[in-house]
Amino acid sequence: MSLLAAAPLFLVCRLACLLLLMAFLPCQAAGQTAHHSAVLEVVGDGIPQPLSFQPGDAARGRAIASSRQSGLCLLCHSGPVSEERFQGDLAPNLAGAGQRWSAAQLRLRLVNPRHFNPDSIMPAYYRDQGLHRVAPAWQDRSILSAQQIEDVVAYLLTLRE
C-alpha cells in the first residue's frame, strides 16, 4: 500500500480514537455520562444499576436531604430530621422510606418522579435535558450529581421506621 493511500486510513483511525476518548473521558472524570437519559435503564418500577461508581454515603445523603440549599426535600416532605423545623406536608413522610421502597425504586423516584405520578410537583433531580424555563446557571446541569443521588438513596434506605 502506498503512503498516499495509507494516509486517509491513518486519519480515519486517529479520528475514531479521538472520538472514543472524548466520549469516554468525561464519563470517567465525572462518574456519569453527559446525557443522563442515555444510560439509565428502568426495569419494572426502578433503576437497578447505581448511577455512580462509588457506593452511596448515608451521612452525605442525610445532609443533602435536610439541606435548604441543595436537596430541599424537607420543603415538601417531612422526615426524621428533628433539628430541621418547618418540614413540608405536601408529599409522603420520608420516615420508613427504606422499608417501603428498594434502592432501585428510590433511585427512579429521585431521577423521574413523574414515572409514578405524571402530576408530581417533585423535580427530576437527575435530569439535564428537555427542561424549560431554566436559569442560566442550571442549563445542561442536573440538580444533583450521580453521586449525590446515590448518597440520598443510601440515606433513605436507612429510614426503616
DSSP string, 72-132: -GGGT---S-TT--S---SS--STTHHHHS-HHHHHHHHH-GGGT-TT--S--TT--SS--
pLDDT, tens digit, 9 for 90 and up, residues 29-51: 333 333 444 468 999 999 999 99
Percent of the chain with pLDDT over 90: 59
Q: Which fold has domain 33-158?
A: Cytochrome Bc1 Complex; Chain D, domain 2 (1.10.760)
Most confident of 7-11, 39-43, 55-59: 55-59
Q: Name the 3-class secondary structure at 43.
A: strand
Region 94-98 average pLDDT: 96
Task: Please give the Cα distance from 150 to 80 (Å, whole number).
Answer: 19
Q: Are 149 and 111 in contact (CB under 8 A)?
A: yes
Quick one: pLDDT at residue 108?
97
Region 42-65 average pLDDT: 96
Q: Is the pLDDT of residue 80 over 80?
A: yes
Q: Which residues contact 13 (CB under 8 A, 6 or more apart)?
A: none
Q: Which three cell numbers stand for residue 19?
A: 472520538
Instruction: Read off the amino acid at residue 132.
Output: H
